[in-house]
Amino acid sequence: MPPVYQFAKIFSKYLPINLFVDRNNTLSAKFHTKVKYAFFYALCIALIDSFQVVNAQNRKTYYSLNKAMENPESVINLLISHNPDVNLHNLQKFINLESLRLEHCYIKVLPKSIEKLTSLEILDLRNNQLKKLPNEITNLKRLRVLLVSNNSLKRLPDGIEKLNKLIELHLDNNKIKHLPQDIIYLKHLKWLSLKNNKIKALPEGFGNYTKLISLNLKHNSIKTLPNSIGKSKNLERLNISQNKLRKLPKEISNLTKLKILNLNENNLKSIPTNIRNLENLTECYLGNNLLTTLPKSITQLISLLRLTLSGNELVKSDIDNLKNALPKCWVIFKNKK
């Protein structure tokens, strides 16, 4: 019995409803005026749930490559993670594939035939042994999510800018030293993570991501941020901890939607005075830098709830004044020994 029929049958036991099914298997009901709207609302909810179940059943999802090969054109989602024996030589047959997840499959080489998956929107290659991605991967014009963290990538494929529908790109825990200049043309990115690589410099124009919400550059060797970082005006989370930053560009004050700023473990000697413009900042991490003073304007960050300053050479009296000025903020400070 469909979910909506089951629901209606149970509902009729507790309310004054005459429920019947005619010869055409059509559900009908007669009920009191006081309950008709409540019943109608509940009936709509059940119908929506029913449609969602049917829709999920129609979207072909496979967890076995062998099973999927029996009718490759019907496969929409192929989820074959944790399979060390996976054979990718016939990938091109899945012409309607939208999501491919190959996490933990010990893959060393991704076949060039990956470019034939022209409907692909999500590609998960995390936790493999890839040293590079084939340039052909940039022909996946519909790709929105690319996950390649925890591999051994040294560089990105040529033509990365052609993946211009990407909204999510994760490249954490690789061996990337250099980012191609063309990465700045991925204009639709919302989440970009390059944590724990070997990046020393960011390309000129890096930061021209007007839709970017989260940027993670933690644990690299970056010495400077380009002024263009100030153009990422929708940025809410910025993590540049464990790098080699000596100063911040004044343009960082343009990130007025920023909520979390992590600058722990750098070589910062000062903070820009115009940090006051980050009016939505709730968490700011400045621990383990070379700070001896803080700008007075930091007391104007009225949304701040957490401020970490430990591991700097700040004067305790300045910290006390800061605590008094920001009574709602949890100021964490322990001086360098």
**52 shares its domain with 66:** no
**171 shares its domain with 70:** yes
Sort strands 61-62 and 99-101 into parallel, antiparallel or unpaired: unpaired
Q: Give the end of a domain, one of 122, 147, 182.
A: 182
Return the pLDDT at 41.
Answer: 47
**8 shares its domain with 71:** no
Q: Is 199 inside a domain boundary?
A: no
Return the pLDDT at 85.
Answer: 87
**88 shares its domain with 126:** yes
Quote the domain boundaries for residue 268.
233-337
Q: Is 218 inside a domain boundary?
A: no
**106 shares its domain with 171:** yes
Q: What whole-number distance in Å separates Cα of residue 175 and Cα of residue 177? A: 6
**329 shares its domain with 259:** yes
Q: Is 212 inside a domain boundary?
A: no
Residue in 181, 274, 184, 201 with CA at minimum distance from that of residue 244: 201
Tokens of residue 279, six digits: 């009016």
Return the pLDDT at 222.
Answer: 98
**41 shares its domain with 120:** no
| Residues 6 or more apart in contact with residue 303 via CB below 8 angstroms | 279, 280, 281, 282
**119 shares its domain with 160:** yes
**246 shares its domain with 141:** no
Helices (DSSP H) in the chain: which residue ranges? 3-12, 33-58, 65-68, 316-325
Q: Is 64 inside a domain boundary?
A: yes
Helices (DSSP H) in 154-253: which residue ranges? none
Q: What whole-number distance in Å separates Cα of residue 135 and Cα of residue 270? A: 42
Q: Is 133 inside a domain boundary?
A: yes
**241 shares its domain with 134:** no
Q: Give the end of a domain, one of 39, 57, 75.
A: 57
**161 shares its domain with 71:** yes
Return the pLDDT at 126.
Answer: 98
Q: Is 220 inside a domain boundary?
A: no
What pTM does this model have?
A: 0.82
Which pLDDT tens digits describe the chain residue by residue (337 residues)?
444 444 444 444 444 545 444 444 444 555 454 444 444 444 444 444 443 333 434 459 999 999 999 999 999 999 999 999 899 999 999 999 999 999 999 999 999 999 999 999 999 999 999 999 999 999 999 999 999 999 999 999 999 999 999 999 999 999 999 999 999 999 999 999 999 999 999 999 998 899 999 999 999 999 999 999 999 999 999 999 999 999 999 999 999 999 999 999 999 999 999 999 999 999 999 999 999 999 999 999 999 999 999 999 999 999 999 999 999 999 999 877 5
**42 shares its domain with 84:** no
Number of structural domains (the chain) is 3
The radius of gyration of the chain from alpha carbons, rounded to an integer in Å, stands at 27
Return the pLDDT at 125.
Answer: 98
Q: Is 124 inside a domain boundary?
A: yes
Q: Give the alpha-carbon dihedral of 116, 121, 105, 112, to 10 degrees.
A: 20
97, burial (CB in 10 Å: exposed 0-12, middle 13-18, buried 19+): buried
Return the pLDDT at 30.
Answer: 52
Q: Give the end of a domain, one of 18, 38, 57.
A: 57
Return the pLDDT at 337.
Answer: 57
Q: Is 204 inside a domain boundary?
A: no
Residue 20's DSSP bridge partners are 28
Domain CATH code at residue 330: 3.80.10.10
Sort strands 99-101 and 122-124 into parallel, antiparallel or unpaired: parallel
